[in-house]
């Protein structure tokens, strides 16, 4: 097996890593990697024996691996401080992790609804699998699945605390850190055993590829994940791995900028909301009242003030937050009224998006909108929220007449 990580880049900045960390694997003098579409690779004829294409042969068939996959895994392994294996989607990573650990009792925290569906599929095959809440006792638990930050609120969990509890019970801790990729979070530093990401979100970042990545602490687990991927054909396609590699070169600047804009917008929306409550001590203008009085809540890690926040998120929180209204009708009115926030699902990309999660997940409050901030400017996005909230207030006032 080829050494994916080049130790030279281990201590360099994220941008340097994502631009250079795979260079030792490039076989041609290209500055940017080209896309390789072949499914099959020539045998080295002198090395072939029966049922053996030769230990020195790096690529044989693309279900196993291909140069674009190896390159992106090299970059991700360095950037994510572990051993990265790329899959066809974020949900596929959950299946692969379950097939690797084969847990009989899983504790799961608040998480993306699709993960719970994968767990149900796994339980249907494995049989006799118990699923409990990550907030309850870990007695008999072999695997704890934690999402932080949480989709759809953007709030965080104290990963170190769950790691202590999981390890005390002899369980492994898997952290789905899709909502806070590097440089926003590095869950191994808080004790996670495995980190997974839907690469369809920030890592891809342009709403144009579906992929996932599992990062393990050790090479042996990565080897097993690769054999699961090959056995079941769970890998990502050539276009996807190539696009992912290209997207990673801008990960640091994109994510840092998105996170900064999101934190400013969260602060602004929360200031509108606060201005409209407890008006006994102040007299907001009619315009300020119109902006804030329909906002029932704004949720994001920056508003939680958790003691673990600083250590867990050295470079800010994610660009996803949620906003709730008095009713489903009001939430949908705002989703449709926003102009720069596209009314569509997904998150983490360069386009700002707003999604009504209840449409996907019945356990999500019907009055909640999930917001994912892209690369539009803060001023433009703030103006978009002002016009949408003003329109909502006017609409509600007119309805009362
Ligand atoms: C989107 C998402 C997934 C699933 O990823 P896909 O690439 O869509 O399969 C898993 N976990 C979280 C937190 C997500 O947001």
What is the domain class of 7-249 according to CATH? alpha beta
Q: Please tell me the predicted confidence (pLDDT) of residue 43.
A: 84
Span from the CA of 230 to the centroid of ligand 1 (angstroms): 21
Span from the CA of 346 to the centroid of ligand 1 (angstroms): 8
Q: Is-contact 5 77, C-beta < 8 A?
A: yes
Rounded alpha-carbon distances, angstroms, from residue 375 to 220, 270, 336, 372, 386: 38, 21, 20, 10, 18
Span from the CA of 178 to the centroid of ligand 1 (angstroms): 7
Q: Please tell me the predicted confidence (pLDDT) of residue 50.
A: 57
Does residue 176's CB lie within 6 angstroms of at least one atom of ligand 1? Answer: yes
DSSP characters for 101-113? H--SEEEE-S--H
Span from the CA of 387 to the centroid of ligand 1 (angstroms): 31
Q: Please tell me the predicted confidence (pLDDT) of residue 2.
A: 67
264 vs 339: CA distance, rounded Å:
19
Does residue 320's CB lie within 6 angstroms of at least one atom of ligand 1? Answer: no
Q: Please tell me the predicted confidence (pLDDT) of residue 51.
A: 56
In the predicted model, residues of the chain with pLDDT beneath 70 are 1-2, 47-56
Q: Which among 92, 108, 112 is the best mutation to test ligand 1's pocket, defined by most ligand atoms within 8 Å of the CB?
A: 112
Query: Could you tell me the two tokens for 357?
Result: 């999660």
Rounded alpha-carbon distances, angstroms, from residue 134 to 111, 142, 163, 175, 400: 10, 12, 11, 12, 44
Q: Please tell me the predicted confidence (pLDDT) of residue 53.
A: 64
Determine which residue's CA is closest to atom 2 belonging to ligand 1. Answer: 198
Does residue 153's CB lie within 6 angstroms of at least one atom of ligand 1? Answer: no
SS3 271: helix
Inter-axis angle of helices 219-232 and 90-101, nearest 10: 110
112 vs 107: CA distance, rounded Å:
14
Does residue 178's CB lie within 6 angstroms of at least one atom of ligand 1? Answer: yes
219 vs 224: CA distance, rounded Å:
9
Q: Please tell me the predicted confidence (pLDDT) of residue 353.
A: 98
Q: Please tell me the predicted confidence (pLDDT) of residue 57.
A: 74
CATH for 252-400, options being 1.10.3720.10, 2.60.40.10, 3.30.300.30, 3.90.1150.10: 3.90.1150.10
The domain ranges of the chain are 7-249, 252-400
Determine which residue's CA is closest to atom 1 belonging to ligand 1. Answer: 198
Place of tokens 């294409």: 53
């Amino acid at each position: 097996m080829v050494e994916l990580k080049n130790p030279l880049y281990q201590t360099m900045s994220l941008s340097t890593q994502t631009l250079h960390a795979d260079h030792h694997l490039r076989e041609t003098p290209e500055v940017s990697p080209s896309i390789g579409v072949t499914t099959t690779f020539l045998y080295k004829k002198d090395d072939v024996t029966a049922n053996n294409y030769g230990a020195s042969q790096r690529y044989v068939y693309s279900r196993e691996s291909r140069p674009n996959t190896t390159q992106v895994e090299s970059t991700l392994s360095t950037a994510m401080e572990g051993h990265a294996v790329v899959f066809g989607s974020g949900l596929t990573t959950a299946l692969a992790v379950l097939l690797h650990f084969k847990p009989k009792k899983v504790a799961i925290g608040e998480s993306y609804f699709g993960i719970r569906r994968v767990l149900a599929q796994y339980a249907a095959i494995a049989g006799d699998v118990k699923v409990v809440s990550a907030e309850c006792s870990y007695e008999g638990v072999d695997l704890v699945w934690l999402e932080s930050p949480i989709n759809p609120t953007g709030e965080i969990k104290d990963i170190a605390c769950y790691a202590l509890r999981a390890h005390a019970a002899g369980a492994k801790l898997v952290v789905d850190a899709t909502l806070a990729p590097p440089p926003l979070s590095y869950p191994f530093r808080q004790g996670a055993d495995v980190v997974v990401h839907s690469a369809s979100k920030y890592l891809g970042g342009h709403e144009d590829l579906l992929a996932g990545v599992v990062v393990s602490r050790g090479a042996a687990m990565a080897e097993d994940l690769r054999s699961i991927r090959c056995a079941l054909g769970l890998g990502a396609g050539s276009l996807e791995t190539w696009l992912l590699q290209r997207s990673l070169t801008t990960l640091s600047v994109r994510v840092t900028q998105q996170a900064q804009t999101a934190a400013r917008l969260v602060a602004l929306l929360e200031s509108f909301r606060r201005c409209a409550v407890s008006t006994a001590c102040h007299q907001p203008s009619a315009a300020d009242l119109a902006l804030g009085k329909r906002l029932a809540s704004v949720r994001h890690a920056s508003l939680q003030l958790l003691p673990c926040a600083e250590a867990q998120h050295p470079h800010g929180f994610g660009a996803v937050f949620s906003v709730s209204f008095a009713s489903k009708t009001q939430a949908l009115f705002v989703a449709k009224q926003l102009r720069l926030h596209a009314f569509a699902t997904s998150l983490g990309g360069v386009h700002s998006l707003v999604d009504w999660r209840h449409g996907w997940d019945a356990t999500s409050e019907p009055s909640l909108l999930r917001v994912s901030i892209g690369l539009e400017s803060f001023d433009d996005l703030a103006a978009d929220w002002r016009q949408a909230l003003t329109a909502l207030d006017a609409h509600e006032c007119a309805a009362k007449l």
